[in-house]
A and B are shown apart, each in its own frame.
Chain A
Amino acid sequence: MTQAEIKLCSLLLQEHFGEIVEKIGTYLIRTGTQPLRMIVNETGLLLDQVKKALCVLIQHNLVTYQLQKRGFVEYEAQCKRVLRILRYPRYIYTAKTLYNDTGELIVEELLLNGKMTMSAVVRKVADRLTETMEDGKTMDYTDVSNTFVRLADTHFVQRCPLIPETPETPDAPPPPAPMLVINEKDMYVVPRLNLIGKGKRRRSCDEEENGEHKAKKQKQDGESSEPLPDDGIYWQVNIDRFHQHFRDQGIVSAVANRMDQTSSEIVRTMLRMSEVTTSSSAPYTQPLSSNEIFRSLPAGYNIVKQVLDQYLTLLADDPLEFVGKSGDSGGGMYTVNLHKALASLATATLESIVEERFGSRCARIFRLLLRKKHLEQKQVEDFAMIPAKEAKDMLYKMLSENVVSLQEIPKTPDHAPSRTFYLYTVNILSSARMLLHRCYKSVANLIERRQYETKENKRLLEKSQRVEAILASMQATGAEDAQLQEIEEMITVPERQQLENLKRNVNKIDASENQVDETIFVLESFIESTMKKP
């Protein structure tokens, strides 16, 4: 784990889980697998605090444990998973676009709590939806369950590994740590639940006293009564599926930008058809025949079969090679080249970064090097049509930033400098890694700056919160406008200005973090695609 990643992980943990969890998480990320005793000794925290923090981290799938042969348990932090915390808003927003508010809330609850049983999720989401509805209306549990089932069917949520059900002999002591297993087939099987009910709204004050006594009794009864039918079956968000969805979105929009709307729809159809048949790390989708694609096109698109064939031919001939032709049966078998598409997306990101950071002429040289692979100094000047001095300058700037690299080709075995070619080249993989590292650093800087800004204005923020609380309570008890005005004036105009500035800055920084996370996703997907062995 690079220093930048560790720093970013520790900032994310601190913001979302507090300092104690952050200390333990950072220690585990830095030192690898450790048993409980070591963690307590090295971090200097109390045993109970460490236990609590480990429970929280395991609950959120950020730390895993393993029973070693000698009988003690070791804990390991998942650094990559911690970095995903940055992407939570994107997951929730995607769920909203696909499954509306219900889906959004289900995914949000699962992300906030790590793992939950289906009944608990359904209950909570129904309650939350009921609160937002008008008076008198409530959300039925069946609607929420249906959305949950749809999420499970499309693999967006998955089951967590289960405790093995093997009956232990009563003599043998239970193992110090359960070995959780999950069967591939069972991962998306929804348990049969009979969830009948409606969401509860938090009642107004008058009813509260009467209702609460009953509710208290009910709660006590409910906790001690028989366990729910899906006890022990926990669900978590399937992050890889979301990543697959983002990747598909990226490819479709790239095709739309390069060609037109219809071709992007065709590619979207092809990807949709291959969702469940192709694993997320496959280099290309299963071959699809042109007839199948024609049948699966969305209803709104009435294009003739011949036009579809023309589009497919165009897509297959495109130099970017998003779509490839793999055979002629069935009217032509076509696949989507996922790895090549990811490489193109990453390259486009690199080009755009070079252009924004160094200028358009540097970008021209960069694209030239990408196309021609290796060029000498003189050749760069000639091909790019840039005067020698400036070309030299730009090349050195990019070289010092490690965006381009030098390749030595000796003419003689003794590598004498005067008899060696020096060629400039761009190595996409290493540039991508370097930029990814830079992205992590940027996000860490952004978070630190945001925390600094908030800390600087802490007093002012607290004051404004107090004023708002006073205003709200006065409005509830019915006050005149003059009194409200007076209270609003407690915050002076320059203070208001300061608050506005603070809000604007914090919003900008937050939006930037989201933006950098998108770049991180593209680069990470590309690097991962090159690492997986087929």
Chain B
Amino acid sequence: MPRPLSKRCGAAAAPDAREAAAHARSPSPRPPPPAMAGRGRGRGRGQMTFNVEAVGIGKGDALPPPTLQPSPLFPPLEHRAAPLPGGEEGEYMLALKQELRGAMKNLPYFIKPGAPRRDIERYSDKYQISSPVDSAIDWNPDWRRLPRELKIRVRRLRKGRTTILIPKCKQRVALDKEETIKKLESLEKKEEEVTSEEEEEKEEEEEGKEEEEEEYDEEEHEEETDYIMSYFDNGEDFGADSDDNMDEAVY
């Protein structure tokens, strides 16, 4: 016969029997283990450690049902938010904010991740304007104010090259070619900036070859391509346009 348990745990069913059996094994009286504190669940309201009346839950009041799931992501709004203050100040700040966002995207401080490598190297890559070289730095920080370890080496252009280029520029009339020349020049500069201290040794050998090659290429480019750069279409966009209008068949 299980020992008579304390009144609190009186009439509950199976859990009591188990615990009563546990109690039966130990002869000495012991305070009920904490697991039994929730015994009254289901029978009358949950007993709390403090007097619930003080907080205002009177006897017999119905409590809200227990929450069985996390609160909803978008709970229904009971009160709508007040309208935003409009006015000149608000409009101006709004315009400022959007302009700032746009402007910062074009500053050299906005570091774009490197262009994704194409699967195969294509011939047109030489002529297309690719995104700026990953490790070049587009602006000139004051290196004296920064720790030395952050310095990205910038190699100086050989002075001879600038004098070669300028007379060439004057001969060409087409604006497009000048643009490509300038872009190629800036790309060159960036390619030369691409060293950090570790990579310097590797590239030193290639350096001599690269610069000669590029100088040579520069002149070759001007003579080889009789076609205007912007007209070149390598056909990649063909078929990539959205097929919204299925009226006409595509041949």
Contact = CB atoms under 8 A, between A and B. Distances in A.
B103 A48 contact: no
B109 to A, nearest CB: 5
Interface residues of B, number: 56
A420 B54 contact: yes
B111 interface: yes
Interface string B139-171: 001101111111110000000001000100110
A514 B134 CA distance: 35
Given A65-B147, A359-B79, A93 B96 contact: yes
A163 B92 CA distance: 39
B93 A90 contact: yes
B165 to A, nearest CB: 10
Nearest to A417: B50
Interface string B79-107: 10110110001101110111011011001
A252 B50 CA distance: 48
A92 B169 CA distance: 42
B90 A511 contact: yes
B29 interface: no
A229 interface: no
A510 interface: yes
A356 B169 contact: no
A73 B149 CA distance: 9
Contact of A52 (B49, B54, B152, B178): B152
A49 B148 contact: no
B135 A36 contact: no
B56 interface: yes
Given A90-B93, A92-B96, A93-B93, A112 B107 contact: yes
A20 interface: yes
Nearest to A97: B89
Contact of B134 (A48, A359, A377): A48
A21 interface: yes
Contacts of A508: 84
B196 interface: yes
A89 B144 contact: no
Contacts of A459: 242
A216 B113 CA distance: 30
A469 interface: no
Contacts of A420: 50-51, 54
Interface of A: 15-21, 36, 46-49, 51-56, 58-60, 65, 67, 73, 88-90, 92-93, 96, 108, 112-114, 163, 174, 176-178, 180, 209, 213, 216, 220, 232, 234, 356-359, 377, 388, 392, 395, 406, 417-418, 420-422, 459, 507-508, 510-515
